[in-house]
Amino acid sequence: MLTGEEYLASLNDGRVTFFEGEEVKNIPEHPVMGTAAQLTAATYDRFHNPEPGAVNLLMTPPRSPGDLRDLIPVLSEADIVTRVTFGSLMALLTAADRLAEAGAGHVDAILGYHDQAKRTDIRITECITDAKGDRGRPPQGQTDPDAYVRVVDRCDEGVVVRGAKLHITGASYGHDLMVMPTKRMSAEAGDYSIACAIPVNAPGVRIINSSYAPRGEDVRHFPHTSHDHMPDGFVVFDDVFVPRDRVFLDGDPQYAAVFAHSLGLWERIGGVSQMTRNAELLVGFAHLIADANGLLGVAHIKDKLAEMIIHATMLRAGLEAALHNAVVTPQGFVHPNELYTNAAKYQGAANYSLMVRHLHDIAGGSLLTAPTIGDLENPQTGGDVRKYMQGRSGVPAENRLRIFHAIRDHTADAYGGWHAATNVLSGGGLYAQRIVASNHFDIEAARAMALADAGIEHWSA
């Protein structure tokens, strides 16, 4: 197992990565990207076991619903790159199980890679969303054939891939990039039916990063994102060679959707876990600022708080149902229930903006305009801030300021916008969750119940 220090050293491996127009030669020492690297390093240290042959708990697949239940809250406290690594490996195992049932190949390569990843304690990021070009055309119908990642050459030793993947959170912070097809492929899309693992420092890989991280010398005005942020990568594959033992699907379009669906399941259960925690955090913010403002007894405030509490509770219930009804595969691994996972993810994403609206309505305009901690400390302005930012008696102005800052940082600044969008888009959009939930709902049982209740014995097909 790697230590945090060893992980940070491993990032200086010749990878080609850019941030705001400049190439980053040393990620750990970069003023913005370095903070994100420290998050992943901290998770390495937290779970490090120096015993020979030890395997990170977060790289170990659950073998029972109880294992999965115990693992999810631990994962939710890890950095996002580690969470994505777990999801990537579990998606591979889920795909391998489904490929084995279909009698397809590549299973041995998947299992071999999974074992190697565990032993070397690497981090993996997911590359699924293609550039797509004209969304109205299939991959093989694009004006530019590189709009979707594709195989441009094959030999006995491996394949060469070209294209780009977008919205890859933490792409510059892992060791491998897990490339998977973005959608179901038609029979003509064989070259686009590629799933493989590519080292971040492989020749031909370039990553262009964006970030919502705050800038400036004094970042105390950003109590969350000053220490917890992760850049997203625009990943370019410029004729990258991939050895055969790292290729998990090649030229088999009938199996492309297996990888997308397997990854979607693990992305969504991770999303539900984070949504649940965040919904409960928003309730805490709302209650604290209502208390600081002296408004806990006001009827419309209580109504909004109650709605936020119900939202958080229903997400928690959906998460619990997905874990309690987890499925044990023939290979002995466990994955969450797809119906409850997708239904909960849909509910969390579809209602998030309303919950934020309630929070903003409860908090008031100072969540945007409250002075900074620097203003509080300045002898020329500190007295004014303490006098006029005071809320109800007993709550210091500084505490009220800090709650305002936290609400803004989470919901009404750069991270707030990022979070609102990713809530909807990560793990597939709302439409994807509706489709999967509908496909796994027992509609025949519901029809039979309705027919019996209506006193109908026969219904024509």
- Mean pLDDT along residues 297-307: 97
- Looking at residue 427, its pLDDT comes to 73
- Looking at residue 197, its pLDDT comes to 97
User: CA nearest 62: which of 251, 309, 357, 266?
Assistant: 266
Q: Quick check: 193 and 252 in contact, CB under 8 A?
A: yes
- Looking at residue 263, its pLDDT comes to 85
How are beta strands 124-127 and 176-179 bridged, if at all? parallel
52, pLDDT greater than 80: yes
- Mean pLDDT along residues 128-137: 92
Side chain identity at residue 433, one-letter code: Q
Which helix (H) or strand (E) element contains residue 353? helix 338-363
At 101-111, the pLDDT tens digits run 887 878 999 99
What residues contact residue 252 under an 8 Å CB cut-off, 6+ apart? 104, 105, 190, 193
- State both tokens at 194: 């590629």
Which helix (H) or strand (E) element contains residue 153? strand 150-155
d(CA 51, CA 97): 31
SS3 124: strand
- State both tokens at 61: 């697949």
373, pLDDT greater than 90: yes
What residues contact residue 458 under an 8 Å CB cut-off, 6+ apart? none
- Which is more confident, 356 or 267? 356
Q: How confident is the model at residue 264 (pLDDT cuts 50, 70, 90)?
A: confident
In terms of average pLDDT, the best of 59-73, 202-216, 322-336 is 202-216
- State both tokens at 237: 């594959």
- Mean pLDDT along residues 276-297: 96
- Looking at residue 141, its pLDDT comes to 93
Q: How far is CA 265 from CA 62, 91, 95, 392, in A?
A: 15, 8, 11, 46
395, pLDDT greater than 80: yes
Q: How confident is the model at residue 190 (pLDDT cuts 50, 70, 90)?
A: very high
As a whole-number percent, the residues of the chain with pLDDT over 70 amount to 100
- Mean pLDDT along residues 362-372: 95
d(CA 41, CA 3): 7
280, pLDDT greater than 80: yes
- Looking at residue 143, its pLDDT comes to 95
Instruction: Output the average pLDDT for the chain.
Output: 93
d(CA 288, CA 294): 10
15-24, 254-263, 387-396, 427-436: least confident range: 427-436
Q: Quick check: 310 and 286 in contact, CB under 8 A?
A: no
- Looking at residue 144, its pLDDT comes to 95
How are beta strands 205-210 and 17-19 bridged, if at all? parallel
Q: Which CATH number fits domain 258-447: 1.20.140.10, 3.30.2270.10, 1.20.1050.10, 1.10.3720.10?
A: 1.20.140.10
- Looking at residue 3, its pLDDT comes to 95
d(CA 371, CA 389): 9
